[in-house]
């Protein structure tokens, strides 16, 4: 099928929630794919930080297909050895006590929100339900998570929104101190705001927030949906800041493309969400868990160091491009601020000429597969540099 045919089918049938780039991804290998017109394209986006092991990863495909041949789904009413093994592995590796599996980042955050509210209800009773999030954050598209998202343009059309969210300015510890009164049960933040424009949260601020949270028994929840699972060169990005959150959420790169999310909590919250208080039909699917187990096994210290080194290599290459004003982010999560050009227009030109690159607000954004090779980086930057320099 040609791109024109695919476009017509999709545009006449899908709800128009996305302004699609004019490209159809049909098959791939590593960080390179072939589109419907048989062009070879370098992928600096991996979905949106999802295909962490790239396309057609043999080990992951074997892990997934072996599980598929055994059993594809069991309800959470029953045990399954693959799910049990992965649950034990992810809690052991992350140092958290318990995990709840779900199917997306928004669901993982929903779980964290419910957990925080019940933790507080169990311990302190009613009216301690407020949750502080940051201005310019992004936490998902469900009713509670768009409310949690600290960007006004998400707070339209869908009234009434969920109550009990307050928005703090990132980096302003005085304001946070004032806001964190005895109605607050939790704070949710990203270590690097992804959709908000690859904006890092100040580490000193994070430490100060952690201190107040500890003093007041406010749960510190880190949304690691975009930053987690090796993306920044650590298993989870909060490790860079030297803080220890009570709850973290993960999704995007956790499943290499199979839908999966996770909410992990520390020992003090281990038994908050009891039987009947939360659940999911699909969450903790054995096939997704088999793939996720393969990914986690691959996130060795050596591989994490390679991710850091690749990030530095990309930064060095970007530093040679005059149009690049600044580069933000950690590891292989990079935001590129431009001097004069429009990021959206650059992304579109690149897409039509062999390179997929994302945007976030006014920046270009890179979330390449963690397995991207030096050759693929060089090829991609060459295309990018051509459109930045013309």
Q: Which parts of this chain interact with ligand PLP (CB under 6 A)?
A: 104-106, 109, 138-140, 190, 194-195, 223, 225-226, 251-252
Residue 362 CA, distance from chain mean position? 19
Contacts of 58 (CB under 8 A, 6+ apart): none
Residues in Cβ contact with 257 at an 8 Å cutoff, skipping those fewer than 6 apart:
47, 50, 51
| Minimum separation from the CB atom of position 132 to ligand PLP (A) | 16
Cβ nearer to ligand PLP, comparing 35 with 107 = 107
In order of 176, 261, 287, 302, 383, the CA distances from 62 in angstroms are 48, 21, 11, 23, 33
Query: Could you tell me which of 362, 351, 360 has the C-alpha nearest to residue 384?
Result: 351
Comparing CB distances to ligand PLP, the nearer of 54 and 194 is 194
Rounded to the nearest whole angstrom, what is the least distance from the CB of residue 139 to ligand PLP in the complex?
5
Please identify, using beta-carbon distances, which residue of 49 and 54 lies nearer to ligand PLP: 49
Determine the Cα–Cα distance for residues 287 and 62; give it in Å rounded to an integer. Answer: 11
Tell the smallest beta-carbon distance from residue 205 to ligand PLP (Å).
17
In the bound state with ligand PLP, the residue whose beta carbon lies nearer, of 307 and 324, is 307
Minimum CB distance to ligand PLP, residue 190 (Å) = 5
Find the helix packing angle between 81-94 and 286-298, rounded to 10°.
40
Shortest CB 223 distance to ligand PLP, Å: 5
Residue placing its CB nearer to ligand PLP in the complex, 32 or 226: 226
C-beta closer to ligand PLP: residue 243 or 321: 243
Q: Nearer Cβ to ligand PLP, position 80 or 227?
A: 227
Cα–Cα distance measured from residue 71 to residue 324, given in angstroms and rounded to the nearest whole number? 50
Closest contact distance (angstroms) between CB of 144 and ligand PLP is 12
Q: Nearest to residue 48, comparing CAs of 369, 384, 377, 371? A: 369
Eight-state DSSP code of residue 372: -
Closest residue to ligand PLP, judged by C-beta, is 105
**E strands within the chain?**
25-29, 32-35, 40-43, 98-102, 130-134, 165-168, 184-189, 192-193, 199-200, 219-223, 247-250, 261-265, 324-330, 333-338, 355-356, 358-360, 363-366
What's the closest the beta carbon of residue 354 comes to ligand PLP, in angstroms? Answer: 26
């Amino acid at each position: 099928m040609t791109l024109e045919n695919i476009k017509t089918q999709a545009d006449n049938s899908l709800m128009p929630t996305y302004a699609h780039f004019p490209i159809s991804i049909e098959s791939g290998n590593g960080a390179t794919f072939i589109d419907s017109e048989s062009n070879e394209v370098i992928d600096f986006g991996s979905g949106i930080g999802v295909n962490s092991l790239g396309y057609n990863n043999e080990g992951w495909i074997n892990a997934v297909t072996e599980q598929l041949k055994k059993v594809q789904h069991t309800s959470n009413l029953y045990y399954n050895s693959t799910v049990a093994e992965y649950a034990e592995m992810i809690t052991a590796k992350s140092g958290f006590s318990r995990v709840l599996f779900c199917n997306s980042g928004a669901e993982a955050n929903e779980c964290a929100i419910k957990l925080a509210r019940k933790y507080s209800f169990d311990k302190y009773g009613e009216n301690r339900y407020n949750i502080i999030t940051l201005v310019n954050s992004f936490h998902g598209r469900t009713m509670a998570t768009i409310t949690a998202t600290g960007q006004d343009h998400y707070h339209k059309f869908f009234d009434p929104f969920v109550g009990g969210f307050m928005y703090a300015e990132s980096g302003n510890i005085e304001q946070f101190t004032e806001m964190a009164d005895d109605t607050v049960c939790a704070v949710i933040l990203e270590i690097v705001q992804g959709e908000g424009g690859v904006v890092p949260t100040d580490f000193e601020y994070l430490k100060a927030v952690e201190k107040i949270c500890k003093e007041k028994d406010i749960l510190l929840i880190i949304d690691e949906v975009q930053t987690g699972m090796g993306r920044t060169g650590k298993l989870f990005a909060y490790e860079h800041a030297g803080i220890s959150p009570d709850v973290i959420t993960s999704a995007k790169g956790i499943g290499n493309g199979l839908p999966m999310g996770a909410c992990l909590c520390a020992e003090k919250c281990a038994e908050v969400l009891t039987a009947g208080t939360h659940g999911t039909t699909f969450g903790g699917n054995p096939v997704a868990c088999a793939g996720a187990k393969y990914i986690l096994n691959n996130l060795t210290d050596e591989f994490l160091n390679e991710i850091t080194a690749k990030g530095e290599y990309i930064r060095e290459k970007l530093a040679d491009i005059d149009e690049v004003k600044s580069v933000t982010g950690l590891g292989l999560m990079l935001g590129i601020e431009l001097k004069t050009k429009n990021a959206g227009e650059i992304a579109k030109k690149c897409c039509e000429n062999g390179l997929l690159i994302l945007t976030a607000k006014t920046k270009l954004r890179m979330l390449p597969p963690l397995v991207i090779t030096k050759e693929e980086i060089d090829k991609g930057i060459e295309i990018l540099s051509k459109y930045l320099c013309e």
